[in-house]
Structure 1
Amino acid sequence: MTLVKNTLRKQYLKHGCKNIKDTNNQSTSITNKLINTIINNDNFNRIGVFMPLDNEINTIPLIEHIIKNNKHAYLPICTDTQQTGQRQIYIYPKDETHVHDDNKKQDHLIFKKLDSLDHLHSLEPKGKYKIREPAIENHSAYSKKIIIEETEYLNHLDVLILPAVLLDKETRIRVGYGKGYYDDFIKRYLYTNWKDNDDVLKHIEILKEMKEDHLQGDDIINKYLSFKEKYQQINKFACLPPLLVGIGFKEQIYNGVIEHEEKHDWKMDLIITS
């Protein structure tokens, strides 16, 4: 973690989050933009989103809209490798394999589908972060899966909507809460879905650079869909990450450039604010 990102994060969490204005109106504006650009797009049906904390955008109306329109909403569950039995995937590898099976616990996310509006409204705060999460009976049943439904195991999302502490529209860098859950999830998502495990994480780094270079300028959604189609035609074993959408209040858009990108960072494909 760079000092710059860590300092920005601390400053916002200590002072900036208290200065957000018109949170209800901003949340409504962001929800409407997401509906118009993402939810109404026929290419996006399986959408990963998050339940809001007190200082975050209210995503509940968005999730309700997804369910009411017969699309599929998935929420994260905070777990760890000791509970699930999943492999450890290190951001900074100890050796060229990047992957280790040892006894040290590594936190990670799995996503579960919401079955209905009643399911959404029944969620209770859980865990050390007191986030409203879906329940699962046996974490270890998902040792090789990161996206689950009640009746079947699945692998893919079309879109992942991420919370943020700060967002830089120019570089598309997202500053999160510093725990690395989402950066780990994206790498774990690709590792799980890649059909050829030979040096998969090396391929992921190449893919990451190619995608960032391609998704520049305007019309990002069409560029993403075009890149996905062409890349998977050429690379038959490959998997692309979902469209990565960072959302934040206007006060969370950093007035400057966050130059210090860390090795494990995944840039947002799209940033949406009020």
Structure 2
Amino acid sequence: MKGSNLHSAKLLKQNLRKKLKQTLQGLGEEEKARQSRAVFRKLLNFPVYCMSKRISTFVSMRNEIDTKPIIEHIFTSGKECFVPCFDSGNNRMEMVRLRDMEDFFNMQETCWGIKQPCNPDGRENCFNSDGLDLIIVPGVAFTVDGKRLGHGKGYYDNYLARYFAKFSHRPHTIGIAFAEQIVSDLPVESHDHVLEKVLFPN
């Protein structure tokens, strides 16, 4: 991508983030809960999720699809749950194993307001074991064909690049979103990973 086009793409992404942030802040709690339930039902019927054993999902914040029911279902169905741990010092993210729901409720909040497990160094890191079958990815905006706009830090794109360099098998990647987060198109840069599927309420 040429310099002028790259600048235009970055500017468009910044504007979209601002616009979507305002839109999501305007969604009522009942509506967010309704859409979260709809996405959860879709996920339970999604064959890739059903077949996956080792699953990574983000821990949702206020203006994201609620992932607590997903995490609960991962445990009750005998699957293994991995969640992100962020190291702001080196702009790096790792996926570490969550043991159970008690472990979930004991997570600590980072300076960004994101909850993550205590003592990440003492946990199974999927990079040092058998990898992942499925990664459920957050985002600010998505297209129906899997393009994704993140929060601008590049954590997931960098993580997926590292993962693909280490493992021969690729995990499935899906985004989950409110209907308001679905847009007709998004600018894609060379480092952006396109997701296999995006689940959202119709």
TM-score range, shorter chain: 0.7 to 0.9
Say yes or no: does 1:248 pair with 2:185. no
Once the two structures are superposed, what CA deviation does each residue of 1:249-271 show, in whole Å capped at 9, x if it has no partner? 001111x222x211100001000
Q: State the partner residue of 2:23.
A: 16
Correspondence for 1:49 among 32, 57, 66 = 57
Q: Who is 1:162 aligned against? A: 137
C-alpha distance after superposition, 1:169-204 (max 9, x if no partner): 14x2100101100000001112233xxxxxxxxxxx
1:175 paired to 2:156: no
Q: 1:29 aligns with which of 33, 38, 50?
A: 38
Q: Residue 257 of structure 1: which of 182, 185, 189 is its match?
A: 185
CA–CA distance in 2 between the matches of 1:53 and 1:40? 22
Q: Is residue 176–residue 198 contact of structure 2 (8 Å, CA) maintained in 1?
A: yes
User: How large is the RMSD of aligned CA atoms in angstroms?
Assistant: 2.1
Which ranges of structure 2 fall in alignment gaps of 5 or more residues? 1-8
2:118 equivalent in structure 1: 135
Q: 1:147 pairs with 126, 131, 136, which one?
A: 126
Q: Deviations over 1:53-90 (max 9, x none)?
A: 1111110011001101100110000015xxxxxxxxxx
1:23-65 per-position Cα deviation (integer Å, ceiling 9, x unaligned)? 11110111111111157623x1100001111111110011001
Q: Which has the larger radius of gyration?
A: 1
Distance 1:159 1:29 in 2: 20
Consecutive unaligned residues in structure 1, runs of 5 or more? 81-104, 194-238
TM-score norm. by structure 1 comes to: 0.65
The answer to whether the aligner puts 1:76 opposite 2:4 as a matched pair is: no
Question: Which structure 1 residue ranges, 4+ long, deviate > 3 Å from structure 2?
Answer: none
* 1:263 partner amino acid: S
